[in-house]
Structure 1
Amino acid sequence: LSPGCYDSMLHFFRASSWSLEEIRKRWFSAVRLYAPLYREGNYHVLVGDGVKQSKEGRRMPGVKKLFQESENSAKPEYIHGHMFGGLGILAGSVRNWACIPLSIRLHDGLQAAMEWKGASVSEASHVVQMVEDAYRAALTFGNSLLLLDRYFLTVPALEKLKSLNGSGDVHMEIVTKAKKSCTAFERPGPRKPGRGRPAKKGAAVHLKELFASRGGQFQKTEIELYGKRESIRYYCIDLLWGQKLYQELRFVLVEMNGVQGILASTSLELDPLSIIRLYSYRFRIECTFRELKQQIGAFCYHFWSKYMPKLSYYQKKGEPTPMERVEGEKPRQKVLEAVRAIEMHMALSCIAMGILQSLSICFIGKVSSSQIRYQRTPSQGRVSEATLMYYFRKHFFRLLAQKPELYITRIIQRLQEKSEEQWDFLAS
């Protein structure tokens, strides 16, 4: 595109001619129809996680002070930025995985705009919103398993899951990790005669103590995890969990190379080894986040509004946030346009990355990394996203010329015949 197209491209992200929700639905449908999705029995496998992106823009809506839970010492403890909830779906096979991104939405920092006209902001927590996003995707893909990190195992998340499963024909289960300090409960014993309400729970069980107290009941086996054959010890037990909820969960205690972990599943039908294997696939969404940052530049947006009050990095507790200080209908609408622009940028980035990953999986065995000359170490199995991007940048127009009947080819050829003024006008 000519440099004059830049302004109209920016206008596209804030335009009212498109529906973000409709674009997401179309993307879900396209992934279901054309992507080589992985299935675990009768379930598709969704993967969810949060991602925080630091932003220095002081007039960007949704920016707030965030705590970094990452164990990476290169990251600061606190940042100012955006909190996203990312959702993907597993595609490919065990040795050629990809987590195709479905949606990345702002999950925090916008609560002050809930009462604004035209705003669609959830008052739910990040954990609950992740369950809602996953179930919304499951309505397109069918019955699904949702893989989540350990901080998603909360009572509100399980209550929301139970409510959603009871409201529709689609069923979703969660596989996650529990904290080492997790306490569960045995089933209550037979009801004793006499007055009073029946007990909802039995004796408390401190799960980390089971590694020692029931060490003799652990089973030994070998299983493929993270591409390697590993020897593990595991023990499975069904217990009640959640204060005042007391939902029965399947807990799997795992020990591998001296490292202990506790996995949890809302499904009591999944066998322990499947739970262990499924949770090992969760890291793929973090690989997708990395590729989105490094290859697509998905988090390099800088949409802001002059109507946003300037963010103070030294804001005191109790002081109103910049979003709370926005007054008037027009300023609020302009701020919401900036929010829509951010989410639209993320949605298009998900689509771009998903197309690359789907093509990479579909051409396994047909094209190798060594056939695409690029100064990069060849990857085993499928061609990497970076290599595919290099190839398409170099050969995109040559490939289009071979298919003159394609609609996209005709659009580009028609625009190339126009003057520069009309190019600028039609760019968006």
Structure 2
Amino acid sequence: MLPYLDKIINEFRSCFSRQAAFHWFVITVIGLMVRSDQLGVTSIVRDLTLHPRCYETLIHFFRSSAWSLESLRLTWLQVVRKAAPLMTVGDRVVLVGDGMKQSKEGRRMPGVKKMHQESENSSKGEYIFGHLFGAVGVLVGASAKWFCLPLFMNLQDGVKTIWNWGASAPAEPKSDSHVVQMIGQGFAAAKVLGDALFLLDRYFLSVPALIRWKQEQAASGVRLDLITKAKVNTTAYEFPAAKNQAGAVRRRKARKSSSRSFFKPGQHRFKRPR
């Protein structure tokens, strides 16, 4: 196992402009693999029996300018494409995406905001304070059992103000919603791994997500097909007819139709899965 890990980790050497930063990257990765609890940097220092002064050094490593998160993400995608046994349907890999709301006690932590809890579990409150994470993974393994290998995972809500701080802030402030960011990350993975199927639940079936999907599909040159469940309450409105009377206000909506009605004439063409 150790030679294999050494080979994989050395693929990231080009992402660091300084040798010392790369050494701390190796220590951080190994520490996250062998840690016995989830106390952040403290767990790494404790389980690797590092000197207590290494705590501050590790904190500075995460703020170092010797590496960038984007280069690490791109290298990780390339490593996955080369080394992982990817599941394919036809000639496409299978991506999986979902979001998770993690409750937090601290009200002044970065990224913590009030969120609605959609879970049907009666033991959970309707509203919680916490973080909203988004994750995208790819299915890997053998035909007997498949696993989801993470590709992206980050906070996707409550951090818009933080992203736009400092001199490196973009000219246009980042304001993409959670569902739009998931579509963008799916295309970022497909650009490296190839054409893909993207499995999402029906929460992500929204107009902004479909608009972003259409834009990325035209600009990226890769094919990413979304597989999700349609909402039963989806309705479509016809274009309202303009009125010719002077001073009349044009109607904003015309006759509406349920999405179910479009499938009823051809329902005999669909097969129920066994």
TM beyond 0.5? yes
The separation in 2 between residues aligned to 1:35 and 1:216, in whole angstroms, is 40
| Partner SS for 1:97 | strand
The answer to whether the aligner puts 1:104 opposite 2:153 as a matched pair is yes
Please say if residues 65 and 80 of structure 1, whose CA atoms lie closer than 8 Å, have aligned partners that are also in contact. Answer: yes
Q: 1:215 to 1:175 in 2, by over 3 A?
A: closer
- Return the letter of the residue paired with 1:49: D
The question of whether the paired residues in 2 share the 8 Å contact of 1:114 and 1:123 is answered with no
Distance (whole Å) between structure 1 residues aligned to residue 143 and residue 169 of structure 2: 41
**Are 2:125 and 1:76 equivalent residues in the alignment?**
yes
Give unmatched runs, 5+ long, in structure 1. 189-202, 224-230, 232-428
Indicate the residue corresponding to 2:70 in structure 1: 21
Counterpart residue type for residue 6 of structure 1? Y
Segment drifting more, 70-79 vs 27-36 = 70-79
Q: CA deviation at 1:92?
A: 2.1
In structure 1, the partner of 2:232 is 180
Q: Does 1:65 align with 2:114?
A: yes
Shift of 1:89: 0.7
Q: Which amino acid aligns with 2:195?
A: N
Quick check: which has more Rg, 1 or 2?
1
Specify the SS of the correspondent of 2:120. coil
For 1:219 and 1:114, the matched residues in 2 are separated by 46
Q: 1:30 to 1:206 in 2, by over 3 A?
A: same
Give distance in 1, aligned partners of 2:193 and 2:269: 36
Q: Which SS does the other structure have where 1:127 is aligned?
A: helix
User: Which ranges of structure 2 fall in alignment gaps of 5 or more residues?
Assistant: 1-48, 240-254
Which residue identity is paired with 1:217?
H
Shift of 1:10: 2.8
Letter in 1 for 2:205: L
Question: Is residue 63–residue 80 contact of structure 1 (8 Å, CA) maintained in 2?
Answer: yes
- Structure 1 residues 182 and 113: alpha-carbon distance in aligned structure 2, compared to 1, 3 A threshold: same
Question: What's 1:132 paired with?
Answer: 184
Give distance in 1, aligned partners of 2:211 and 2:108: 36
Q: CA 1:220/1:169 → structure 2, altered by over 3 Å: closer, same or farther?
A: closer
Q: Does 1:31 align with 2:80?
A: yes
Q: TM-score, normalised by structure 2?
A: 0.67
- Kindly indicate whether the alpha-carbon contact (under 8 Å) linking 2:138 and 2:151 is maintained by their aligned counterparts in 1: yes
Alignment identity in percent?
47
Q: Which has the higher contact order (CA 8 A, sep 6+)?
A: 1
- The superposition leaves residues 370-412 of structure 1 with CA deviations (integer Å, 9 ceiling, x where unpaired) of xxxxxxxxxxxxxxxxxxxxxxxxxxxxxxxxxxxxxxxxxxx
DSSP-derived class of the 1:164 partner: helix
In structure 2, the residue matched to 1:44 is 93
Distance of 1:220 and 1:49 partners within structure 2: 27
* Dislocated runs of 4+, deviation >3 Å: 207-211, 213-216, 218-221
Distance 1:80 1:114 in 2: 20
Change (3 A) 1:185 1:144: farther
Show CA shifts across 1:346-383 (max 9, x none): xxxxxxxxxxxxxxxxxxxxxxxxxxxxxxxxxxxxxx
Matched position secondary structure for 1:14: coil
TM-superposed CA distance for 1:209, in Å, is: 6.0
**Equivalents in 2 of 1:182, 1:176: separation in Å?**
14
Query: Would you say how many aligned residue pairs link Structure 1 and Structure 2?
Result: 208
CA distance in structure 1 between the partners assigned to 2:257 and 2:189 by the alignment? 35
Q: Given the alignment, which residue of 210, 216, 234 partners 1:164?
A: 216
C-alpha spacing 1:54/1:16, structure 2 compared with 1 (3 Å): farther
Answer whether contact 2:164 2:174 (CA < 8 A) is retained: no
- In structure 1, the residue corresponding to 2:78 is in which secondary structure? helix
Task: Give the aligned CA root-mean-square deviation in angstroms.
Answer: 2.9
Alignment partner, residue 195 of structure 2: 143
Match of 1:2 in 2: 50
> Secondary structure of the equivalent of 1:7?
helix
CA contact (8 A) 2:94 2:138 kept: yes
